[in-house]
Amino acid sequence: MNPEELTVGAVVLTMGNRPDELRALLESVAKQNGAPVEVVIVGNGSPLPEITVPGLTIRTVELPENVGIPAGRNVGIEAFGPAGREKDILLFLDDDGSLPNQDSVRLCREAFAADPKLGIITFRIADPDTGVTQRRHVPRLRASDPMRSSRVTTFLGGANAVRTRVFADAGLLPGEFFYAHEETDLAWRALDAGWMIDYRSDVVLHHPTTAPSRHAVYHRMVARNRVWLARRNLPAPLVPVYPGVWLLLTLARRPSLPALRAWLGGFKEGWTAPCGPRRPMRWRTVWRLTRLGRPPVI
């Protein structure tokens, strides 16, 4: 397949509180080499001003309330038709990020054209001032070398490209999650459907260094959604193992008392609250995850 024949759209989720950063992101998308990228901006509980950037076709969708990250991105996907089928590839970009290189979209097109089983590309996130990539932004256990590209088992939510056929095969992001681990839920379903995921160090998104714990809901939702991941996706014998390992790891890290209380509250909620449909992965997918270096027990 000629890479230039692959059509590309981009979904940007915003709460309307970063207008300057959003414009910088859109300008970086407009500068990409090759055929233009069509952009859908989703205002997640926020009205959007009229936004025009030379070289870009931009559509906007305003949601009356904040529905969370995965549900908001799903709205952006569906703006490109059911399961995003109007495009071959969709980019998902944080509204305070930017693409520093003009060949990022071209590299994605070439990668998808060259590998018909490649479903998702996750970008390298680097601080725009220091160039440093945080360890948590390298989606594998052996994360010490962020410049090494590899197959991986999950991806970064605001810095990725997805072949839209993945959504047709594996479904959309889990809206129930609201925030945290929705990417891993989709990644596991995509891998179970036979798709692969690549971390590409040469496709870069600039993003300021931040701590995920800045979000007030962080500890509760991280714990709740870990349990939901297991309940939704793992074979029955592994369902208690995965959250159990994370409980031990969390205790070993000795979080502050308020953080631990929030985490334990989320952990309990994960077992008691509805988590959406259960579709356990096949054992051969468990083996594939293990061979890729991340068995689904950690």
1 — pLDDT class (breaks 50, 70, 90): confident
Q: Looking at the structure, do residues 38 and 148 belong to the same domain, yes or no? A: yes
Q: Looking at the structure, do residues 71 and 85 belong to the same domain, yes or no? A: yes
Question: What does the pLDDT average to over 72-94?
Answer: 98
> Is the residue at 296 inside a domain?
no
Is residue 113 over pLDDT 60?
Answer: yes
> What is the percent of the chain where pLDDT is above 70?
99
Alpha helices in 144-281 (DSSP H): 165-170, 182-192, 218-233, 241-252, 257-272
CA-wise closest residue to 266 among 254, 282, 280, 250: 250
Return the minimum-mean-pLDDT range out of 90-104, 134-148, 210-224, 281-295. 210-224
**Number of folded domains in the chain?**
2
217 — pLDDT class (breaks 50, 70, 90): confident
Is residue 214 over pLDDT 60?
Answer: no
Q: Looking at the structure, do residues 90 and 197 belong to the same domain, yes or no? A: yes
Is residue 78 over pLDDT 80?
Answer: yes
Question: What does the pLDDT read at residue 215?
Answer: 57
Per residue in 172-199, pLDDT (tens digit) is: 999 999 999 999 999 999 999 999 999 9
Question: What does the pLDDT read at residue 213?
Answer: 58
CA atoms of 192 and 283, how far apart (whole Å): 9
Question: What does the pLDDT read at residue 298?
Answer: 83
Among 210, 225, 247, where does a domain finish? 210
Are 105 and 34 in contact by the 8 Å Cβ rule? The answer is yes
Question: Which residue range forms the structural domain that includes residue 260?
Answer: 214-291
Among 169, 190, 210, where does a domain finish? 210
pTM of the model: 0.96
Cα distances from 206 to residues 49, 127, 288, in angstroms, run 24, 6, 31
Question: What does the pLDDT read at residue 123?
Answer: 98
Average pLDDT, the chain: 96
